[in-house]
């Protein structure tokens, strides 16, 4: 594979990340497990593992966690696991991730007009409901 130092958000295109995720799956012959339903289940499981790092943690403790390198590394790793599984699902669905995100942000802009929900989660929750 390419040198790891080649991968930075400012210069990595999504296709390269998708390929890294696909290579991992190919090398393990796991494609047959990667149907959309089981991938959705796995994304939810990994999301819960990320959330578990904050279980019973009070808000002021959360801020302290951000200054603790070990905790930050664990958060980064669990978040990466969620994203890797999302890349797997994108690969299985054969969709363009960038287009999916751009289109959904446009849709969210229409659903949650800035002037209506500015600084106010309650308005957001009502519109969502």
Token representation of residue 87: 């890349």
Angle separating helix axes 69-93 and 36-52, nearest 10 degrees: 170
Per CB under 8 A, contacts with a copy of itself among 30-69 are 30, 32-33, 35-38, 40-59, 62-63, 65-66
The 10 Å Cβ neighbour count of residue 85 is: 21
Give residues 86-115 in contact with a copy of itself (rule: CB under 8 A): 86-87, 89-90, 93, 95-109, 112, 114
**Residue of 69, 70, 110, 119 that binds a copy of itself (CB under 8 A):** 119
Nearest approach, Cβ of residue 73 and a copy of itself (Å): 9
Nearest approach, Cβ of residue 34 and a copy of itself (Å): 9
Q: How far is CA 125 from CA 73, 100, 103, 106, 116, in A?
A: 31, 23, 21, 18, 12
């Amino acid at each position: 594979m390419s040198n790891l130092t080649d991968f930075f958000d400012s210069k990595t295109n999504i296709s390269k990340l998708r390929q890294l995720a696909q290579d991992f799956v190919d090398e393990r012959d796991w494609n047959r497990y990667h149907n959309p339903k089981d991938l959705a289940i796995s994304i939810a499981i990994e999301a819960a593992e990320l959330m578990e790092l904050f279980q019973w943690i009070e808000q002021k403790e959360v801020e302290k966690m951000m200054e603790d390198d070990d905790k930050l590394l664990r958060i980064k790793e669990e978040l990466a696991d969620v994203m890797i599984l999302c890349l797997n699902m994108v690969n299985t669905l054969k969709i363009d991730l960038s287009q999916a995100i751009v289109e959904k942000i446009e849709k969210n802009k229409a659903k949650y007009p800035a002037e209506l929900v500015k600084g106010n989660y309650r308005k957001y929750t009502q519109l969502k409901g």
